[in-house]
Amino acid sequence: MGIEVHLFMNMMNGLVWGLIIALIALGLVLIFGLIKILNISHGEFYMLGAIFGWYLIQYTQNFWLALVLSPLLVAAIGLFIEWGILRPTEDKPIKTLIVTLGISLILQYTVYWFYGGSPQRIVEPFQYHLTLFGSGYSGYRIFVAILSMAVIALLGLFLQKTRIGLWIRAVKQDQEMAIAVGIPTQKVIMITFALGSFLAALGGVLAAPIFSVDFLMGLEVLPTAFMVVIIGGPGNLMGALGASILIAELEGISSVFVSPTISRVLSLVLMSIVLLKRPEGIFSRARR
């Protein structure tokens, strides 16, 4: 009885975590696919989402308000960063990458300055436990899973069905062509950046009650987010979703049998294999 329940719990946790990672990774893939800039500070958007969430909850005691407002605030910061700092340097990718490195440091330690170094907790907004297999499972986590799936589905619809979504996909495919056809590319880039940071921040707020909130939490998700991009294939949104779930489940399931350390190493091994055998990603449709 024990191990099946344990396994099931871990699978559920893996799904929840995988969806949160998906939110972060999708943001990363969107931005990278569009402007070919690897945003090292992307993890900090996740962190800022959680931090702003924490502050908002402190002042308003309202989780739902924080859930909506925090990502919007972070999106605004993302926009500012894109406009003020990244835009002037968008010519050389290495240069921009190092700039995002600097931004990452600034964001982390500014938060450290005001928020401090000790991790804080946010209480789950509702204490509801669903009974599964004779054990209680956090209703909040299920909510997170459902909300994430909804947001991702909305994102998909947005990209496929709206005009802006079409523009985003066009600029992603061929920026020069998009300019030639009259698409306001700069605006598209700005919107994508805001969207990407919004998604990461949303993931941060959702994750906050489950894990703790501290100024380094961006670094904790960064390697996983990057692994997702590599395994799923750069620029491949569906791949990112698939890889997020895959990695999270892999780590979740294996941690039942082996220590969490080994499961981390396992995903590292998976990533290494993908790099060797299929550098374009597991889910990529491209042929060599």
Partner 1 sequence: MMTRRFWFLFFLVFLILLSLPLWGSSFYMFLVTEIIALSLFAMSFDLIYGFTGMLSLGHATFFGAGSYIFTLSIIYWQANLWVALLLAINGSAIIAWVIGFFAVRARGTNFIVITIIFSLVIFYLSFYYKSITGGDDGLPLKVPDLVLGFLSISIHDNPMANYYLVLAVVSLCYLFYWRLIVSPMGRLFVAIKSNEERTQYIGFNTLKYRLISFVISGAFSGLSGALCSMTTHYTNNKLLHWTTSVDVVVWTIVGGAGTLIGPVMGACIFTFFREFISFHFKQYPIVIGMVLIFFIIFIPQGILGYLLGLIRRERK
List 158, 166, 272, 285, residue binding partner 1 (CB under 8 A):
272
Least Å from the CB of residue 151 to partner 1: 25
Binder of partner 1 out of 59, 109, 158, 257 (CB under 8 A): 109
Radius of gyration of the chain (CA): 19
User: Using CA atoms, how far apart are residues 235 and 226, in angstroms rounded to an integer?
Assistant: 12
What Cα–Cα distance (Å) separates residue 8 from each residue in 2, 21, 256, 262, 285?
10, 20, 10, 19, 32
Q: Is 257 in the site for partner 1 (CB under 8 A)?
A: no
Region from 34-42, 63-71, 137-145, 164-172 binding partner 1, contact rule CB under 8 A = 34-42
Paired tokens of 85: 């700092």
Instruction: Single out the segment in contact with partner 1 by CB under 8 A; choices: 7-15, 46-54, 101-109, 154-162.
Output: 101-109
Pairing of strands 135-138, 129-132: antiparallel
Do 168 and 162 touch, CB atoms closer than 8 A?
no
**Based on the number of CB atoms within 10 Å of its own CB, is 55 exposed (0-12), middle (13-18) or buried (19 or more)?**
middle
- Specify the 3-state DSSP secondary structure of 146: helix
Site string for partner 1, 46-85 (x = CB under 8 A): ---------------------------------------x
Question: Vertex 175, ends 170 and 179: CA angle to 5°?
Answer: 90
In sequence order, which residues have a C-beta less than 8 Å from that of residue 219 and are 6 or more positions away? Answer: 43
CA 274/CA 261 separation, integer angstroms:
20
Q: How far is the CB of 30 from partner 1 (least distance, A)?
A: 16
- List 12, 57, 230, 241, residue binding partner 1 (CB under 8 A): 230
Which one, 65 or 85, has the nearer CB to partner 1?
A: 85
The answer to whether 259 contacts partner 1 (rule: CB under 8 A) is: yes
Among 125, 139, 156, 223, binds partner 1 (CB under 8 A): 223
**Contacting range for partner 1; rule: CB under 8 A; set: 56-64, 67-75, 122-130, 257-265:** 257-265
- Assigned token pair, 176: 């020069």
Could you list the residues that contact partner 1 (CB under 8 A)? 36, 38, 40, 85, 88-89, 93-95, 97-99, 101-106, 108-110, 112-113, 219-220, 222-223, 226-227, 229-230, 234, 259-261, 264-265, 268, 271-272, 275-276, 279
